[in-house]
Structure 1
Amino acid sequence: MRLTRIAFLIVVVASAWSGLQPAYAQDIAIPDGVVAKEIDPPVPSAIPGSHDKRVLVMEIFDYACSHCRAFQPMFDKWAMQQADDVDILQLPYLLGSSLDSNLQLLSGRAYIALMIMGRNGYPTQSLLAHRQFFDEILPFYQHMTKSDPPGTYKDMVEFMAAQVAREGMGKDEFKKIFFSHEVDEAVKSIQQAEKSFDVPGIPAIVVNGKYYVAPDPWDTKTPTDEVYNGMLKLTGQLAAREP
């Protein structure tokens, strides 16, 4: 397994949902608390550095999502256990949220900027900052909105840049990348991809542009850890079926 962590996903096809086809459903049970859909037609994608891999697993998350924060350590552990022919890519969810779509866009841009910095010589530092953002971005946003006067989104960017600097990366370099055309284009590509996947909620996993796996929003009985373990088990089964 290799963590791709590159901020480009190019998708040019729309999608529609159907249930898992019988060829897959015959011997793959959907765990309690989990939903799985087939993307029909599949969404072709071009990921730099991924062309030699058998299967691409994409996790879709949001720093301000408490469920994503709980799922992240489990997903990271699962990802490190996968074979070398499985590529892992994480995508920030950029289609708006009930909390604040501007915050979501800002934090998504921050993730993309971190991954670019990781590619440019800070792989460990960018990963550490990425993990810290799950704990730091939402509390700061809540503090900012309750201040008198309330903070601005410029304050949010400065806060994120300060956290990046704390991990040993350049604050000004982060802000330059954050506002760059490269990040603009990555945001557009990710939004196009997520529209094609028709993702109704997060955290979510997409396997090879063919299958979507996520918690069942209508299930209120299955324990959260059981749901997340079920998602990962099902993801592994679907990935194993890929040629």
Structure 2
Amino acid sequence: MNKRFALLLLVLLPLMACNKQETPAPAATPAAAENAAPAANEPVPADEPAASGETPAPAASAQTPAPEAAPADADAAAAAPPAASGALTPGTDYVEIPNGQPYLPLNGKVEVVEVFGYVCPACAQFQPLVNSWEKKLPANVRFTYVPAAFGGPWITYAKAYYASETLGLVERTHNDLFKAIHIDQTLKGERGQDSVADVAAFYGKYGVDPKQFASTMESFAVNAKLSKAKQWAIRSGLEGTPTIIVNGKYRVLGKTFPDMLRIADALIAQESARPAP
């Protein structure tokens, strides 16, 4: 990739974080107005994670799919087989990533990545659905979180994720950290700037020495993982969070969070059916 272009993307990515939301029908999603994207220089409001499956999902730039060809006559229309329930439309349901690569070697698995940010209100709303969905994924699927590192507090919390991963704390702290930022507001998220010590104090409640956690956040290993996540997000054409990417090849779009998961399920089935290389 042209280095100048990559640097430009790193500058622009913070402006695109957590801000690709469609406006749904009012009756279906009463919280839509609260979840609208803020201006680039305004803080993102803290929203409580929603339990409802009707929360609007961030969507990549919409492309209008080509209309289906009309059958020559009514008899032909009646004879035409119905579209498969899992049928997907490129450009509407997903974007195929040019020369896309998985985040980690597949090793016979189908990789599903959620690119997220702890400070992102939409990610906080998506998380309860992800929790339920992940438990039902087939055995051949490897689900991986990749924190977005758009700048400012995003960087701090991306490091926190990788430090918690290193110390074996993700399973115990992942949901609780969303809650601390967006519901309890004991951490600022994008409403301010939490220090490394602030974040380490949160993890200290789970049995780790806060000084050890702070040191791990600033370690070479965590910074290497952060750099890898940044570059992979750029190559994958990340436009906002949360985003689901399947096998490094397909970036899921969708109009609502349940729609995103429907599309991901269809892509997982498609990739699972491919013959092993």
For normalisation by structure 1, the TM-score amounts to: 0.69
Please say if residues 203 and 215 of structure 1, whose CA atoms lie closer than 8 Å, have aligned partners that are also in contact.
Answer: no
State the partner residue of 2:262: 233
Q: C-alpha separation between the residues in 1 aligned to 2:220 and 2:93?
A: 36
SS at match of 1:46: coil
CA shift, 1:171, in A, is: 1.5
* Corresponding position: 1:43 with 2:101: yes
State the partner residue of 2:235: 196
* Cα pair distance change 1:133/1:142, threshold 3 Å: closer
State the partner residue of 2:143: 88
Identity of aligned residues (%): 26
* Cα pair distance change 1:178/1:195, threshold 3 Å: same
CA shift, 1:86, in A, is: 0.3
Any stretches of 5+ residues in structure 2 without a counterpart?
1-5, 7-60, 66-82
State the partner residue of 2:188: 141
State the partner residue of 1:111: 161
* Cα pair distance change 1:234/1:159, threshold 3 Å: same
1:126 is matched with which residue: 151, 161, 170? 170
State the partner residue of 1:179: 218
CA shift, 1:136, in A, is: 2.0
**What is the identity, as a one-letter code, of the residue corresponding to 1:65?**
C
SS at match of 2:146: strand
State the partner residue of 1:75: 130
Question: Which has the larger share of strand?
Answer: 1
CA shift, 1:36, in A, is: 1.5
CA shift, 1:126, in A, is: 3.0
Deviation string 1:182-221 (CA, Å, 9 cap, x unpaired) is: 01100110001000011111110000011001355xxxxx
Question: Which has the larger share of helix?
Answer: 1
Please say if residues 202 and 214 of structure 1, whose CA atoms lie closer than 8 Å, have aligned partners that are also in contact.
Answer: no
RMSD, aligned α-carbons: 2.8
* Cα pair distance change 1:200/1:176, threshold 3 Å: same
Q: C-alpha separation between the residues in 2 aligned to 1:184 and 1:78?
A: 30
**What is the identity, as a one-letter code, of the residue corresponding to 1:193?**
W
Instruction: Give the structure, 1 or 2, with the largest relative contact order (CA under 8 Å, sep 6 or more).
Output: 1
Q: C-alpha separation between the residues in 2 aligned to 1:144 and 1:75?
A: 25
Any stretches of 5+ residues in structure 1 without a counterpart?
1-13, 21-25, 119-124, 146-152, 217-226
- Higher deviation after alignment, 133-142 or 72-81: 133-142
Q: C-alpha separation between the residues in 1 aligned to 2:200 and 2:111?
A: 30
SS at match of 1:59: strand
SS at match of 2:152: helix
CA shift, 1:76, in A, is: 1.8
Q: Number of aligned residue pairs: give it.
A: 189
For normalisation by structure 2, the TM-score amounts to: 0.61
* Cα pair distance change 1:237/1:176, threshold 3 Å: same
